[in-house]
Amino acid sequence: MLKQVAEGVLIHESEFCQSNAVVVQGRSGVLLIDPGVRGSELACLANDLRDLGQPVVAGFSTHPHWDHLLWDAGLGTAPRYGTAHCAATARARLSDPGAKARVAQLIPPDIVDEVPLELLGRITGLPADAAQIPWDGPRIRIVEHQAHAPGHAALVIEERGVLVAGDMLSDVLIPMLDLMGTADPVENYLAALQLFEDVVGDVEVVVPGHGSVGGADQVAARIDQDRAYVRALRDGHVPSDPRLGPAATFGQDWLPGVHERQLQHLAQRSERGGTPG
């Protein structure tokens, strides 16, 4: 089921981690961003677009994690893009014959048989200096950063006032740092939040990779909340974050564990003399 969040911008929410696929309507078809998770959901999305008479003319993956690299044959053979760093990372991770078996081990066992991996990660890297997505729809600005994953991109759909944030600015997920792929995960995350803050004036809607769509009043608030969490993590404090609190209703069987691992990892870095912030 497609839901409109702004003029010409629709989302399809997956049952898995409240994942949001984003559809942007252009002149000759749609751009599809992070299309989904289960095969049935991808097929539903393809059917919905067919019913609208809107072929997929381009795809985009915000970052090289498995749940953002999926595709289905029913969506067609349009070019699928990512940043140069994102595409290179996906290519390196998926280049050997055992790669898909390793990816399958990352997928929750209750859905692994429902996730189509045949077209996983077949994305083309845009030029390193690309400022926007090449297509015939509204201008979509690329805001690349190194928080959460290599070559992560947020997208600003300028004519629609929409920020597609990838796996950031979620109302249900805490910030998840790229602890293994970068020398300074905390500062990379804070730098990305500053980039988001720089575009707040152009944004009326934020679409996180996972969680609820937020209005204009939520954009700055989510940036502030994520910044407070990351700073508390850096300083070894217990964050006062509702996403980890007793009233939280999402991910309480695994999200506190993510927080503890991040806290321990940064503490160990500090002990080794590699200060995280």
**What's the pLDDT at 277?**
39
Residue whose token pair is 């002990």: 271
Cα within 13 Å of Cα(73), Cβ side: 2
Whether residue 186 contacts residue 232, with contact meaning beta carbons closer than 8 Å, is answered with no
Residue whose token pair is 């999305």: 45
Backbone angles phi, psi at 267, to 5 degrees: -65, -40
**What's the pLDDT at 183?**
84
Q: Which of 272, 253, 189, 199 is nearest to 226 (CA)?
A: 189
One-letter identity of residue 110: D
Q: What is the pTM of this model?
A: 0.94
Q: Take residue 264 and report the two structure tokens written for it.
A: 């321990």
Whether residue 147 contacts residue 192, with contact meaning beta carbons closer than 8 Å, is answered with yes
Q: Tell me 150's DSSP state.
A: T
Cβ-Cβ contacts under 8 Å for 150 (sequence gap 6 or more): 63, 64, 85, 86, 89, 178, 181, 182
Least confident of 92-106, 207-221, 258-272: 258-272
| Cα(44)–Cα(72) distance, integer angstroms | 10
Give the residue-averaged pLDDT of 9-28. Answer: 95
Strand-pair category, 205-208 with 162-166: parallel
Q: Which of 211, 208, 220 is nearest to 148 (CA)?
A: 208
For residue 173, give Cα distances in angstroms to 155, 184, 202, 233, 255: 19, 21, 24, 15, 8
Angle between helices 185-199 and 216-235 (to 10 degrees): 160
First and final C-alpha spacing in the chain: 42
pLDDT grade, residue 247 (50/70/90)?
Answer: confident
pLDDT grade, residue 244 (50/70/90)?
Answer: very high
**What's the pLDDT at 273?**
63
Mean pLDDT of the chain: 94
Whether residue 166 contacts residue 154, with contact meaning beta carbons closer than 8 Å, is answered with yes
Structural domains of the chain ordered from first start = 3-271 (3.60.15.10)
- The H or E element containing residue 251 is none
